[in-house]
Structure 1
Amino acid sequence: MPRAALLELGVRTASAAVLVPLALVPAWTGGWPLALLLALAGWRIGYEWFHMQGRRGLTAQVPASSAAAGALTAYYIAGPVAAVAAAFLGAVIGRIVLEGFARTLHRGLLGVALLAVPLVLVWELREAGEDGRDLLLWCLLIVWTTDTFAFLCGRVLRGRLLAPAISPGKTWNGLFGGIFAAGVVGGFAGILLGFPAETAVLSAVCVGMATITGDLVMSAVKRTHGCKDTGRLIPGHGGVLDRVDGLLFGVTIVAIWKLIVEGA
């Protein structure tokens, strides 16, 4: 592995050592720690979304401030789901004030649909008792495994580029490595949770594919707006949106799967 890639891996690992406990503890406990984490994530993702699309400075700061105020107020009055929704609604309203309704409509509502709904699904999934907690932790494990092995296989094995027009750093070897690791690790974890072996492996592969899809979709959005990362908050990863893009898609698949199983 090239020296630059090793350095990047070291920085990413150090950041992950801090971020993983910050995600695992609220996911395990649920309640207000998870609600607070989701509200903060909603505010930051809303900030990064509008910051990526608009001008620097005031155009992003006002929606972000609106989102933060709305989220904190909603949390104390109506609970965590309202807090996540208010974070994005505040960001959209702030943007409308600055740039008008027409320019904000397609950007703001798209952001709410793609980003806010999965955060609400995280909460709903975790609040579905012990089964929901286990599914959320299982989803996190698969997403992190997919991201890690896609990065490692892509850097070590290299090979043919996956989508050079969207993301010149992603390769087919990284794709297959990430999905294979998701199937092995997620499948084994699913069996421990009581899933049939075939269901565990197939479901884990689907979540892994959704994770990579989320990463590619966000790469396409960033490429459209001429930026490499959505932010610089997390060393080695970029912004919060860079870190959770795959999770947003992965948790949506898990939540839909849970609804289908419960309705069957």
Structure 2
Amino acid sequence: MAVKGRDIALRAASAAVLAPAAVAATWIGGVWFLGLIVAASVVLAFEWGAMSAPRAPRLIGGAVSLAVVAAVVSAYFGAMSVAFVMLVFGAAGAALFARSRGQQAVDAAYGVLYLGWPSVLLIWLRDVDSTVGLHWTALVFAVTWSADILAYLAGSTFGGPKLWPSYSPNKTWSGFIGGIVAGAIAGAAMTAWFDMGPLTVFWGAFLGLAAALATMGGDLWESGLKRRFGVKDAGNTIPGHGGLLDRVDGLMFAVVVVAAGRLLVVLLERGVS
């Protein structure tokens, strides 16, 4: 219990430093949010390089980083189609570069798409509208953080049967249930608090539930990737948490679900008008 208590304290201390910076950049938006996503993308890319290409981590990390940042900047300036094209060509370019360095081309290409797709969607979600975009981005963070924190606390407190031992031996069903319930509550609360257009509290809860499920799925997916590459953590960037990828793996999946919900609302609003 003492070791677990120290682990929770270290996690809380790291979150107390990083979360306010992320919240502030999200609140301000504009180039500050762009800077947050670019910085995170670079860190994630180099973690991916170290994890997937240990013989050339900096070279592969740099190639993946270049492709992802180019797509993110394009999305920031409103060229979403260009951003998606850059992701495709960036993945191909990273694959060719990795192959020339004797590394796995598929891993480099996948790294660009795995990291780039949610980064581009976060830019679109935040800057599609200065106020409404903030609300939707806040919903993503609230649902993801609530699901992640409550899953950890419920699993640590109640324990019980393992969720998927072959992929992630520490995950439990109690943590899974706690996470999705927390996500649904967070989605409903954010919808009640913010102006989300035609999104009602009920549908906010449903979207929160779906995003929480995606958060759990993203966590399991990254656990599978780490087992494939034979590493315990994606890195040691954040004390008590491992790498940044270990903290945002669920967010990367959840943002896809929330962006799909936002797109549906936009289409509904256009249909009504």
Superposition TM-score, scaled by structure 2 size: 0.85
Per the TM alignment, residue 101 of structure 1 is displaced from its structure 2 partner at its CA by 8.3
The RMSD of aligned alpha carbons is 3.0
Note if contact 1:143-1:208 (Cα within 8 Å) is conserved in structure 2: yes
- Report the counterpart of residue 214 of structure 2 in structure 1: 210
- Report the counterpart of residue 237 of structure 1 in structure 2: 241
- TM alignment of 1:81-230, pairs within 5 A: 93=93, 96-97=96-97, 99-100=99-100, 104-129=104-129, 130-194=131-195, 195-230=199-234
- Report the counterpart of residue 261 of structure 2 in structure 1: 257
- Report the counterpart of residue 13 of structure 1 in structure 2: 12
Unaligned stretches of 5+ residues in structure 2: 269-273
- Aligned-partner Cα distance in 2 for 1:248–1:110: 14
- Report the count of equivalent residues: 261
**AA partner of residue 108 (structure 1):** A
**AA partner of residue 234 (structure 1):** I
Per the TM alignment, residue 187 of structure 1 is displaced from its structure 2 partner at its CA by 1.2
Note if contact 2:75-2:124 (Cα within 8 Å) is conserved in structure 1: no
- Aligned-partner Cα distance in 2 for 1:71–1:196: 34
- Report the counterpart of residue 29 of structure 2 in structure 1: 30
Per the TM alignment, residue 94 of structure 1 is displaced from its structure 2 partner at its CA by 6.3
- Aligned-partner Cα distance in 2 for 1:170–1:72: 33
**AA partner of residue 175 (structure 2):** G
- Report the counterpart of residue 271 of structure 2 in structure 1: none
Superposition TM-score, scaled by structure 1 size: 0.87
Show CA shifts across 1:84-122 (max 9, x none): 998998797567445438954321222222210110110
Note if contact 1:46-1:91 (Cα within 8 Å) is conserved in structure 2: no
SS in 1 for 2:171: strand
C-alpha change, 1:94 and 1:217, in structure 2 (3 Å) is: closer
Unaligned stretches of 5+ residues in structure 1: none
C-alpha change, 1:62 and 1:113, in structure 2 (3 Å) is: closer
Per the TM alignment, residue 19 of structure 1 is displaced from its structure 2 partner at its CA by 1.0
SS in 2 for 1:227: coil
C-alpha change, 1:73 and 1:148, in structure 2 (3 Å) is: closer
- TM alignment of 1:62-73, pairs within 5 A: 62-66=59-63
**AA partner of residue 260 (structure 1):** L
Per the TM alignment, residue 70 of structure 1 is displaced from its structure 2 partner at its CA by 7.2
Note if contact 1:229-1:238 (Cα within 8 Å) is conserved in structure 2: yes
